[in-house]
């Protein structure tokens, strides 16, 4: 089954006629504490393992979608900047291919306006909140009124991690067993953890050397340790879920950090090797480990880039901020944002 067939199946009983002139939707960004790394189906972005993230409150993307003049080009504007639709950047190619899935006629053109407050270069999975906001806006434009889990499924076709960006708080993206991925969707966890803090440590704001899409593919195909990943991952996920249910921060930190390090270790053993970690990343890790040795409950996670995301509790905010003066601190559960 390809993406178009899935979209057709999901939208079978919805109206083909847009019900509104525009659609607008906000989706938060999310950070995985147990990572998605490797696909069992590359076309449908179906994961080998489940993953678990925490959403970033008001940090995310808000997209407004409308129709542009038929037959011309899609109009894509990000933070007020017009994107060159003829560029062969992965961003434009992937986005246009995704929009193709939702054109009522081949000549329909969309106008996509996205505002994002995600700190630039923070490696904050902008594709996650981007595709989630886009499909949410599409739902509004057409008036489909699809449940969030169906939007999660559709967003996954654009970017895997986008399946987790429809809820605040902790979200598990379930692996699912169906071949067409109908059950591989995000599920919101009920626990709120108001004292949890995430620190964005931007060490190098340059864009990544290799896309996560490509890096996952190479890791899965060539790392001799990939076969051990599902088992290690299942262990980390179970530990993390238990930590969340018991509000055990040390367990949450240890499981998250270990999961990220295992993901990067696998990448080192891929061929060609994939190294997102930089000298500054290693220095920051040592600083975190030293602080921990001295009694500070401070952990990190790392995605497909050199930057780190720190995990700590509200009570240690000042100490952590003193260690990393430029840290951007996010309180993911504050202001009653769990919806
Ligand atoms: O969904 P993608 O293709 O942007 O991949 C996300 C990969 C990681 O951020 C490293 C892990 C994750 O689960 O978000």
- State the pLDDT at residue 338: 40
* From 126, 212, 302, mutation site for ligand 1 pocket: most ligand atoms within 8 A of C-beta: 212
Distances (CA, A) of 281 to 38, 84, 278, 287, 307: 23, 33, 5, 10, 7
Whether the CB-CB separation of 57 and 337 falls below 8 Å is answered with yes
Give the H/E segment covering residue 311.
strand 308-313
pLDDT tens-digit map of 1-30: 899 999 999 999 887 788 999 999 999 999
Cβ-based neighbour number of residue 202 at 10 Å: 18
Pocket test for ligand 1, best of 50, 56, 161 (most atoms within 8 A of CB): 161
pLDDT digits (tens, 9 = 90+) for 221-267: 999 999 999 999 999 999 999 999 999 999 999 999 999 999 999 99
Report whether pLDDT(336) > 60.
no
How confident is the model at residue 337, as a pLDDT? 44
**CATH number belonging to domain 196-337:** 3.30.70.890
Which tokens sit at 219?
């890791």
- Residue by residue, DSSP assigns 103-156 as -SSTT-EEEEEEEE-SPTTS---HHHHHHHHHHHHHHHHHT----HHHHHHHHH
Q: What are phi and psi of 259, to 5 degrees?
A: -65, -45
Distance 20 CA to ligand 1 centre (A): 32
Q: Express each pLDDT in 90-140 by its tens digit.
A: 888 999 999 999 998 889 999 999 999 887 656 666 889 999 999 999 999
- Choose one of 98, 303, 305, 308 to mutate for the ligand 1 pocket test, by most ligand atoms within 8 angstroms of C-beta: 303
From first CA to last CA, the distance across the chain in angstroms is 33
Residues with CB under 6 A from ligand 1: 32, 35-36, 51, 125, 127, 159-161, 212-213, 303-304
Report DSSP letters for 144-206, one per residue. ----HHHHHHHHHTT-GGGGGTTSSSEEEE-----TT-TT--EEE-----TTEEEEEE-S--S
Q: What's the chain's length in residues? A: 339
State the pLDDT at residue 122.
62
Cα(212) to ligand 1 centroid in Å equals: 6
- How many whole angstroms from 330 Cα to the centroid of ligand 1? 19
Using the predicted structure, report yes or no on whether residue 159 has a pLDDT greater than 80. Answer: yes
Q: For 184-223, what is each residue's pLDDT tens digit?
A: 999 999 999 999 999 999 999 887 789 899 999 999 999 9
Helix axis angle for 126-142 and 148-156, nearest 10°, is 120
Instruction: State in Å: Cα 9 to ligand 1 middle.
Output: 26
Residue nearest to atom 6 of ligand 1 (CA): 161
Domain ranges, ordered by start, for the chain: 3-188, 196-337
> Which atom, in ligand 1's list, is nearest to the CA of 303?
10
Output the pLDDT for position 120. 63
What mean pLDDT value characterizes the chain? 94
Nearest by Cα to 213 from 98, 54, 96, 42? 42
Predicted local confidence at residue 20, as pLDDT:
92
Name the 3-class secondary structure at 331.
Answer: coil
Rounded CA-CA distance 29/51 in Å is: 15
Alpha carbon of 164 to ligand 1 centroid (Å): 10
Q: How far is the CA of 97 from the centre of ligand 1 (A)?
A: 19
The neighbouring-strand residues paired with 51 are 173
Share of residues in the chain with pLDDT > 90 (%):
84
Peptide bond into 272 cis (omega under 30): yes
Q: How confident is the model at residue 269 (pLDDT cuts 50, 70, 90)?
A: very high
| Confidence class for position 335, pLDDT limits 50, 70, 90 | low
The pLDDT score that the predictor gives to residue 209 is 82
Question: Which residue has 């989706």 as its token pair?
Answer: 27
Q: Which residue has the tokens 């995990």?
A: 311
Q: Which fold has domain 3-188?
A: Ribosomal Protein S5; domain 2 (3.30.230)
Backbone φ, ψ for residue 31 (5° rounding)? -115, 125
């Amino acid at each position: 089954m390809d993406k178009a067939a899935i979209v057709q199946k999901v939208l079978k009983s919805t109206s083909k006629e847009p019900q509104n002139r525009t659609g607008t939707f906000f989706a938060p960004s999310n950070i995985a504490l147990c990572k998605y790394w490797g696909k069992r189906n590359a076309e449908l972005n179906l994961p080998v393992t489940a993953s678990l993230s925490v959403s970033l409150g008001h940090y995310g993307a808000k997209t407004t979608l409308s129709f542009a003049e038929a037959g011309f080009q899609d109009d894509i504007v990000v933070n007020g900047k017009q994107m060159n639709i003829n560029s062969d950047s992965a961003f434009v190619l992937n986005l246009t291919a995704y929009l193709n899935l939702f054109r009522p006629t081949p000549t329909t053109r969309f106008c996509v306006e996205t505002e994002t407050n995600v700190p630039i270069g923070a490696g904050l999975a902008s594709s996650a909140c981007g595709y989630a906001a886009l499909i949410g806006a599409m739902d509004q434009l057409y008036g489909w009124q699809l449940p969030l889990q169906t939007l999660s499924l559709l967003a996954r076709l654009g970017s895997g991690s986008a399946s987790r960006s429809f809820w605040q708080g902790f979200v598990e993206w379930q692996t699912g067993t169906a071949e067409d991925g109908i059950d591989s969707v995000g599920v919101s966890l009920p626990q709120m953890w108001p004292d949890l803090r995430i620190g964005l440590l931007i060490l190098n704001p340059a864009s990544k050397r290799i896309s996560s899409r490509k890096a996952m593919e190479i890791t899965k195909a060539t790392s001799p340790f990939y076969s051990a990943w599902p088992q290690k991952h299942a262990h980390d996920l179970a530990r993390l879920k238990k930590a969340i249910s018991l509000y055990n921060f040390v367990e949450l930190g240890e499981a998250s950090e270990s999961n990220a390090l295992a993901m990067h270790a696998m990448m080192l053993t891929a061929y060609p090797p994939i190294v997102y970690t930089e000298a500054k990343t290693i220095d920051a890790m040592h600083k975190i480990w030293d602080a921990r040795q001295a009694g500070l409950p401070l952990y990190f996670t790392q995605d497909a880039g050199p930057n780190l995301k720190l995990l700590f509790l509200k009570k240690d905010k000042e100490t952590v901020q003193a260690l990393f003066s430029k840290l951007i601190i996010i309180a993911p559960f504050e202001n009653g944002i769990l919806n």
